[in-house]
Structure 1
């Protein structure tokens, strides 16, 4: 008897996955791992160049196929591959390749992995810039944290980025959302049908061995890819305001800052005399997180959920963060550390958590419980597979119901198609001449 053909998945990445450099890379690998565990046939493609810390996908049984922007070679590739599911990582990949997939593989389920709402992150960044221009108060940023959804909508609604991103959500058959807050924003303010959105947060295995105890740890840690603007802003707020407040209370305290792609402007902040150590890239983020006593994540803007804080919970490392850092991460559950709104409260909470073993141990336990309640791979992985299979089986009806998406594909993809073909023709002309 013939065995049924394995489901073919094509993932199109903005970059090649670097799970040791960013939470985004880790999330992509979690999705790919879920597909492999299901026995699916997985191919990963990207128009980006090789990354310094990219994962060896071929060692995992995933084909790596480089692709080009604005080049019809992709049409032949995708036609021959004939995927059943196409996953676009970030909306720009849907813009670039969505129309080609629709044209050559019309029956493929088109899925967009958002990781975070970029238009929300950018709007919040602009709000922070405006606030910094308007006031030199570096302590209290309460007005930036957790505004009403309507305020977020008004920040985003007139931006080109939001219009592009949300149009891509409509054009996709299903969108993987990492943040429940962003789901509510899209549904309640942008009127995106809830049926287009599937909550799929970071998916991890809950540790089965106890993490290192209080007495075996001895410094603070901050970790995050320096190419991600919220992380760089957090380092600046630490350096200029928060860390001096901590050192006033703990004169010998040490802070280790790790991040991939450390720029010269970051290494210039290193000051051993102040206990402010810029450590560059950590080959094993969990190892360095497990050695620290408290994780500091003073995020003044951002979106999605924070991989560094999930890593902290995995390692049993309590943290101090802001409402932006904790957004969509704990639901109605306790937070494994402290959520603060001012630099002074942040510093005081960090010092208290660092010194108080009882409070620290309680926060460690809360973090492990939170992992089990919200982030278990064995819960979210099967839920994702079930949703994808259901959408494959009911694809025609789901697309018919999503008339707005069909309309946007008709108009936007035509313009994208013609622009891409014009660029390709221009490039060919240059080569010929």
Structure 2
């Protein structure tokens, strides 16, 4: 049986983050091709970590900067190794390369971290992004990780375009793999059976916190036009500063973790997501389309999602437009039902499993069959593996020696 080893930054939490849900989607793709899967992670599991044994995935805790990993990975002898984010590839990539040289190495970016960081810098300085914002230390590290791997998964068409056109990365090193949907939930409450607005997002994720702050600014103007409406703000790991925004009188309610996304989405009438910056795809908007919940968001929120198709609600151009469209979508049944249908169409035409799973696994098989030739064409990757450029390797060895 073929064997995939995933090295995770954290144990997956699909009820807390979109990244956790995506990881389970990737696991499912490989399991359909009869891969045995082992998940390794150095982080401590949380109360909300998914029990991978339920889906027949083996797990094992590992140590940072410890040669015990070398023996373990050699014993596991995987056909494919997937690194969850570039920081994990920095830590363990060189160990995989030395101990399992024939294993296909895949980097799952989740989203391009350097892009999110560049946008954050520009946002917090209240200015437009310029090219120099990209060229950060995170950019250099993430790019190096991409070149060291045999294949890198990008979740957004926009990021594929940025990587290939702006930064000239060969398409042979990249694969576009967005969120995947197996089914659309259509047996849900109607327009008349729903009330209130909703927002959702893990509070540990800085763009989500900034989105809540944007909502706080917008809400008083929406509330003025819809005095009976409330805004229910859900998200895992609520901070104290977020709790201070809770205001019953204003109808701005910090609800905390959603026990069931299906439940809270089916009761709400409109999802609000004034996302000011970020990268990748937005899980909250993807799930909203799957579950028939129209939304109002920003260009940044919708990026990479709808292509040429109509959005499942509105993509606002500014603060006043956001407020106006939120009220309009909340009040207009015909508009709301059209938006819901648009969301279903986006999922069906752009995110269904069948659009990607066969092609993706064929790509994996092709690379495994001709791995030596593929690596020989990756000149930058070869250069970065020279000992003079392996600072993370020697730093790890130094830390391990120091700890002993």
Alignment of 1:329-348 (within 5 A): 329-348=305-324
Counterpart of 2:83? 88
Matched, 1:58 2:53: yes
Q: Distance in 2 between matches of 1:276 and 1:8?
A: 49
TM-score (norm 2): 0.98
Matched, 1:427 2:399: no
Alignment of 1:320-331 (within 5 A): 320-331=296-307
| 3-state secondary structure, aligned to 1:69 | coil
Check the 8 A contact 2:18/2:282 in 1, yes or no.
yes
Matched, 1:31 2:26: yes
| 3-state secondary structure, aligned to 2:16 | coil
Q: Distance in 2 between matches of 1:319 and 1:413?
A: 47
Matched, 1:289 2:265: yes
Q: Distance in 1 between matches of 2:41 and 2:71?
A: 16
Matched, 1:213 2:212: no
Counterpart of 1:181? 158
Counterpart of 2:137? 160
Q: Distance in 1 between matches of 2:207 and 2:245?
A: 17
Q: Distance in 1 between matches of 2:400 and 2:243?
A: 41
| 3-state secondary structure, aligned to 2:71 | helix
Counterpart of 1:311? 287
Q: Distance in 2 between matches of 1:291 and 1:380?
A: 32
Counterpart of 1:134? none
Q: Distance in 2 between matches of 1:398 and 1:56?
A: 36
Out of 298, 307, 316, the residue aligned to residue 274 of structure 2 is 298
Q: Distance in 1 between matches of 2:157 and 2:72?
A: 36
- Show structure 1 runs of 5+ residues with no match: 1-5, 132-142, 429-433
Q: Deviations over 1:15-40 (max 9, x none)?
A: 00000101011001100111112211
Matched, 1:390 2:385: no
Residue 411 of structure 1: CA displacement?
4.2
Matched, 1:203 2:180: yes
Residue 339 of structure 1: CA displacement?
0.5
Residue 209 of structure 1: CA displacement?
3.6
| 3-state secondary structure, aligned to 2:249 | helix
| 3-state secondary structure, aligned to 1:270 | coil
Counterpart of 1:237? 214
Q: Deviations over 1:229-264 (max 9, x none)?
A: 11000001111x110110121112101111001111
Residue 412 of structure 1: CA displacement?
6.6
Counterpart of 1:371? 347
TM-score (norm 1): 0.91
- Show structure 2 runs of 5+ residues with no match: none
Out of 48, 54, 59, the residue aligned to residue 43 of structure 2 is 48
Q: Deviations over 1:71-111 (max 9, x none)?
A: 00000000000000000000000000000000000000000
Out of 87, 106, 110, the residue aligned to residue 111 of structure 1 is 106
Check the 8 A contact 1:245/1:344 in 2, yes or no.
no
Check the 8 A contact 2:186/2:291 in 1, yes or no.
no
Q: Distance in 2 between matches of 1:187 and 1:368?
A: 30
Residue 224 of structure 1: CA displacement?
0.4
Counterpart of 2:62? 67
Q: Distance in 1 between matches of 2:238 and 2:185?
A: 33
Q: Deviations over 1:29-78 (max 9, x none)?
A: 10011111221100001111112311000111001111111000000000
Q: Distance in 1 between matches of 2:333 and 2:392?
A: 58
